[in-house]
Structure 1
Amino acid sequence: MNHNTPLPPASPRPLRHLSDVQRRVMTTAQLRAHGVSPAAAGEQCRAGGPWQQLLPGVFLLHPGPPTSEERLHSVLLYAARETSPSGVPAQPGAGEPHRPVYAEAMITGLAALTLHGFPSAPPLPSLERIDVLVPCRRRLRSAGCARVLRTPDLPVAEEATGLPVAPVPRALADAVAGLTDAGAVRRLLSDAVRGGYCEPAAVVRELKLAKLLGRPHVVAAVDALLAEGRSIAEDRLYAMVRHHGLPDPVWNVDLRLPGGPHLGGVDAYWPEQAVAVELDTRAPRPRRRPDDGPDAGQEDEAMWSEYARKREHLERLGITVVHITPRKLRECMEQQAAVVRTALMASGDRDPAAYVVVLPQ
């Protein structure tokens, strides 16, 4: 064998297994897997060349400005952890194109809210920078149109338009962190509630974790959010009673023992059956995070404990308390009506409840 005979060039892998956007936006590792060396890629990106480098290690394989889709994919390619040595996933079956897999990276902030469909979120072409969320252990800097945000507790990504995006509460917190316009903050929070994307309590919890509740314009927007969210949930509760044939309760009342202490307020109460309904607007039960201090979550836990004490006290008096979350009212109203109806029908099988005084709130 003649050892001076040059080796044939590496055969480029065919691109037919890639989606359109993957053919237009590729990383250095992906290009190398297709037989294109970093030097050759750099040559293509010279002035007047057919390619351009959008971000470190990420190339756009055509001249002219990138589309919004190409920018989003380039940011995810830049931020995602490589899942294989070549940077290219395994071949798909049945000739189907790959769906891009972006490990440990998701779009967040205003871009994510736009992808979720928020009416007041700005159009993607108007965003100079796109926020991308990664674990805090990643060594990655913001560059070009990619603004890297780190978190010790990466949420489970949701999918919007085929892309991994942060859940709405987290995306809202990341967006609000960069906004100083009180009107813009208020409109985004209102979109979240009116559009049914999430419950106000979940938003408030994320804003609290992001330490944004000390900003006056955020506090004002949160007050409006909670009032609006409460009003929407109450309207749905009225609709549940009306549309599912439940007997009319007394609405928004305080319960007291005769001559005794205040037992608490409830949203609906059926005195003859001693059944109460309470809208449960607490945030999801807090989860410990790696960077939480010893006092973290005490306020949330206190609220959970107060709800539990109130419910236990009422039930010791023979009053059945049905907790309904705004989300369940929105997503499965008929099921919640069945729960209340069952509690009302079961009242005849229970011992009589203690007499309580019912007062309007």
Structure 2
Amino acid sequence: MNHDTPLSPLPLRHLFDARCRVLTSRRLREHGVATAEITERCRPGGPWQQLLPGVHLLHPGPPTEEERLHAVLLYAAQRGPTVPSQAGPAPETPEAMITGLAALALHGFSAAPPLSSLDRIEVLVGRTRRLRSTGFALIVRAQEMPVPEEVRGVLTAPVPRALADAVGRLTDASAVRRLLTEAVRGGHCEAAAVVRELTRARLLTRPHVVDAVDTLLAEGRALAEQRLYAMVHTHGLPDPLWNVDLRLPGGPHLGGVDAFWPEHAVALEIDTRASRPEEDPLRSPYDRKREHLERLGITVVRCAPRTLREAPEQQAAVIRTALMAATDREPSAYVVVLPR
């Protein structure tokens, strides 16, 4: 007997979680299960079954939601040939992660169908991977893999990327609107992050997606305004004039701001821009307005929706610092304040 040969796989249970008995052919062979034995055990009526090519379920019953998810990830993560790249070796990145509707269900979206009802589970892989969709595994390719989040023990695409992959396969306008709205209303992410992903996926040419994005942006702004009101009152800041237009006396319109403290010459604007990173921010209307106001001696505070959601005390400190610094500045130009 060759003592280097692995023992018969009687103790296989130590290789998997009791709730998720899914293993690859390679893993089974490494632990002494010959290919012929794997095939025999996966015959109809046998104790095992093949869920996907090279991926086996080590019990005869139907797979659980968790077992289907892990089977898809194992199938997509099996090391196979990749398309050669002239750019040299790629940096270390996850080989696969759940995306699309399955990822949204994992993230807790009520508007996403339950995992048990999904005929296919989308799995995100790098664009150079030579994999095909098969069975209930639907391959989605990424030019650049995002940083995954671990949800219920499963590598999952972040919400903006999962949304873009889900929306790309949906034609029901109401379903798209519900998903996008829940992303912002449920606090999963900011509207700008979703719009960036939809833009990258070239989905903003579809009318039903554009309509849903309009609703999304309105929802995102309304939530940011509510959080701004709450932050001002919770952190004891002086009440500003809300939602006003600024003009020079008898002169041009300077633009609207979300809050204005006239005695301190401090203006605040919620910045909900969803511009692409490669755009020059100095060419945006927001920055032109900011430069104009600051030339008149008015301090403009930029307020990102994400900061209002995740770090309101930090945003309050920035505003308080700007208000306190007013006494050290030259008086600002006189401006007319009108309701917006």
Report the TM-score, using the length of structure 1 for normalisation. 0.85
Partner of 1:262: 253
Instruction: Describe the superposition over 1:198-221 as per-residue Cα deviations: whole angstroms up to 9, x where unpaired.
Output: 001111111111111122211111
How far did residue 11 of structure 1 move?
Answer: 2.0
Cα gap change, 1:62 to 1:77, in 2 (>3 Å): same
How far did residue 261 of structure 1 move?
Answer: 2.8
Instruction: Describe the superposition over 1:310-341 as per-residue Cα deviations: whole angstroms up to 9, x where unpaired.
Output: 22222222111111111111111122112111
How far did residue 247 of structure 1 move?
Answer: 1.5
Q: Which amino acid aligns with 1:114?
A: A
Q: Which amino acid aligns with 2:154?
A: L
Partner of 1:63: 60
1:135 matched to 2:141: no
1:26 matched to 2:5: no
Q: 2:323 aligns with which of 316, 330, 344?
A: 344
Aligned-partner Cα distance in 2 for 1:188–1:60: 32
Instruction: Describe the superposition over 1:39-69 as per-residue Cα deviations: whole angstroms up to 9, x where unpaired.
Output: 2111111111111110010011110211110
Instruction: Describe the superposition over 1:156-185 as per-residue Cα deviations: whole angstroms up to 9, x where unpaired.
Output: 101111111101000001111111111111
Is the 2:228–2:308 contact (alpha carbons within 8 Å) kept by the matching residues of 1? yes
1:335 matched to 2:335: no
How far did residue 122 of structure 1 move?
Answer: 0.9
Cα gap change, 1:284 to 1:12, in 2 (>3 Å): farther
1:223 matched to 2:202: no
Bigger mean CA deviation after superposition, 240-249 or 220-229? 240-249
Unaligned runs of 5+ in 1: 1-5, 84-101, 287-296
Instruction: Describe the superposition over 1:111-155 as per-residue Cα deviations: whole angstroms up to 9, x where unpaired.
Output: 000100111111111000000000101000001000000011110
Partner of 1:118: 109
1:10 matched to 2:6: yes
How far did residue 230 of structure 1 move?
Answer: 0.7
Is the 2:242–2:259 contact (alpha carbons within 8 Å) kept by the matching residues of 1? yes
Aligned-partner Cα distance in 2 for 1:53–1:178: 28
Is the 1:79–1:140 contact (alpha carbons within 8 Å) kept by the matching residues of 2? yes
Match runs of 1:143-162 below 5 Å: 143-162=134-153
Bigger mean CA deviation after superposition, 74-83 or 237-246? 74-83
Aligned-partner Cα distance in 1 for 2:118–2:28: 28
Aligned-partner Cα distance in 2 for 1:187–1:38: 47
Match runs of 1:29-68 below 5 Å: 29-68=26-65
Instruction: Describe the superposition over 1:6-48 as per-residue Cα deviations: whole angstroms up to 9, x where unpaired.
Output: 6465325754653416861011110011111222111111111
Percent identical across equivalent pairs?
A: 69
Q: 3-state DSSP class of the match of 1:239?
A: helix
Match runs of 1:226-241 below 5 Å: 226-241=217-232
Cα gap change, 1:126 to 1:116, in 2 (>3 Å): same
Instruction: Describe the superposition over 1:294-319 as per-residue Cα deviations: whole angstroms up to 9, x where unpaired.
Output: xxx5xx44686433332222222211
Report the TM-score, using the length of structure 2 for normalisation. 0.90
Cα gap change, 1:199 to 1:178, in 2 (>3 Å): same
Partner of 1:310: 289
Is the 2:160–2:197 contact (alpha carbons within 8 Å) kept by the matching residues of 1? yes
